Structure 1
């Protein structure tokens, strides 16, 4: 009997799991989503500006070779595809309100994370490949009168930049966003379990 009383006192003395404040969790989730949507918003603005510039270059500058025009068109179409993807993700994240139905919001956030991870995984490599191809075709004419060292420097810089963005920058950017989404989803799951 003495052991049972001791066991009960130890069990009752265990710290209770922290109860999450609904307001605090929703405030943190909104802040995290706002951070992601703000970054997406500025990416949309930058991509739109670059796409307009590529459009102007394609249709208002005269080139001697059709290969150059094809290169710029490849870059332009690739940027428009990426822009449409970002706009879609921006609308998915910004149209929902976590306070209206947190359970539905949680399911939507999980679906967004799953879809974004899958799409970004394969689309990024297609994006890099198409941009590289477009720039290589564009620079074929633009650098035709340049010296060999300058051509090598230009193409080498482009290759280094794409390797840097693919193998260094991309994993860190998407890991950071993935961690933010995981944290928000974890908080919402804990909040949901608290009320179940």
Structure 2
């Protein structure tokens, strides 16, 4: 038999990818769900403490300029805005605890992925804009009191920190979260296909 007539496409189709173990996948989904819900609770607690800290600064140190007060308000609004959308994931993850081999379950996984993507792009974008404006307005009063060089250094460090978070940390975390969900969705689909056969 001549080797130039080998149908690689047909051989590839005949190979069956091994479906992941249902128990292993169930445990992986439950673990991801638990971790994600704890992360949401921790974010809520951290933002609540930060808001209380900002309110404490306002009360005890009473900034003089209106820009500082506007900055504090914008910073608080940015956090409330972010948490409002981020908390929507909590109930979605909670639904994952009852593992089911249904289309609705798969749709819930896909909805979580979509919600996460929206949070990591649009919501984070608005959050960072509001937070950056808030920080800038708040810092203005204190930068005016500094020497020129200290003001430049302080402003530059703040800009570098916000830029580093936006261009490096945010995309890295977003990719990691999306990859986790992509792997689980892929494994879930393979189990469903395997059971259907």
| TM-score in terms of structure 1 length | 0.84
C-alpha separation between the residues in 1 aligned to 2:101 and 2:163?
Answer: 43
SS at match of 2:97: coil
Alpha-carbon distance change, 150 to 102 in structure 1, aligned in 2, over 3 angstroms: farther
Match of 2:8 in 1: none
User: Any conservation in 2 of the 1:55–1:76 contact (CA below 8 Å)?
Assistant: no
SS at match of 1:144: helix
1:57 matches 2:38 = no
C-alpha separation between the residues in 2 aligned to 1:118 and 1:65?
Answer: 36
1:28 matches 2:43 = no
SS at match of 1:20: coil
Please tell me the root mean square deviation across aligned C-alpha atoms, in Å.
2.0
Alpha-carbon offset, residue 100 of structure 1: 4.7
User: Any conservation in 2 of the 1:75–1:135 contact (CA below 8 Å)?
Assistant: yes
Alpha-carbon offset, residue 126 of structure 1: 1.7
1:42 matches 2:42 = yes
User: Any conservation in 2 of the 1:51–1:76 contact (CA below 8 Å)?
Assistant: yes
C-alpha separation between the residues in 1 aligned to 2:70 and 2:16?
Answer: 65
Runs of 4 or more above 6 Å deviation = none
Alpha-carbon distance change, 83 to 126 in structure 1, aligned in 2, over 3 angstroms: same
C-alpha separation between the residues in 2 aligned to 1:68 and 1:23?
Answer: 54
Match of 2:147 in 1: 147
C-alpha separation between the residues in 2 aligned to 1:21 and 1:39?
Answer: 27
User: Any conservation in 2 of the 1:51–1:80 contact (CA below 8 Å)?
Assistant: no
Alpha-carbon offset, residue 163 of structure 1: 0.9
Deviation sequence 1:113-147 (CA, Å, 0-9, x none): 11321342122222111111111111111232211
> How many residues matched?
184
Match of 1:175 in 2: 175
User: Any conservation in 2 of the 1:44–1:86 contact (CA below 8 Å)?
Assistant: no
What are structure 1's unaligned runs of at least 5 residues?
1-10
What are structure 2's unaligned runs of at least 5 residues?
1-10
Alpha-carbon offset, residue 21 of structure 1: 2.4
Matches within 5 A, 1:112-151: 112-151=112-151
SS at match of 2:145: coil
User: Any conservation in 2 of the 1:58–1:73 contact (CA below 8 Å)?
Assistant: no
